[in-house]
Chain A
Amino acid sequence: DAKTTQPTSMDCAEGRAANLPCNHSTISGNEYVYWYRQIHSQGPQYIIHGLKNNETNEMASLIITEDRKSSTLILPHATLRDTAVYYCIVKGNTPLVFGKGTRLSVIA
Chain B
Amino acid sequence: KAGVTQTPRYLIKTRGQQVTLSCSPISGHRSVSWYQQTPGQGLQFLFEYFSETQRNKGNFPGRFSGRQFSNSRSEMNVSTLELGDSALYLCASTAGVAASTDTQYFGPGTRLTVL
Contacts and interface: CB of A to CB of B under 8 A. Distances in A.
Interface of A: 30-32, 34, 36, 41-46, 49, 87, 91-100
Given A43-B4, A92-B99, A97 B105 contact: no
Dominant secondary structure at the A interface: loop
A95 B100 contact: no
Contact of B107 (A43, A95, A97, A98): A43
Chain B binding site: helix, strand, loop or mixed by DSSP? strand
A41 B100 contact: no
B33 interface: yes
Contacts of A95: 33, 45, 48, 56, 58
Nearest to B58: A95
Given A43-B4, A43-B90, A44-B90, A99 B42 contact: yes
Contacts of A44: 43, 90, 92, 106
A95 B45 CA distance: 7
Given A95-B45, A98-B42, A42 B100 contact: no
Nearest to B88: A41
B106 A45 contact: yes
B109 A49 contact: no
Nearest to A87: B43
B56 A94 contact: yes
Nearest to A46: B103
7 contacts: A30-B100, A42-B108, A43-B107, A43-B108, A93-B99, A98-B42, A98-B44
A36 B105 CA distance: 10
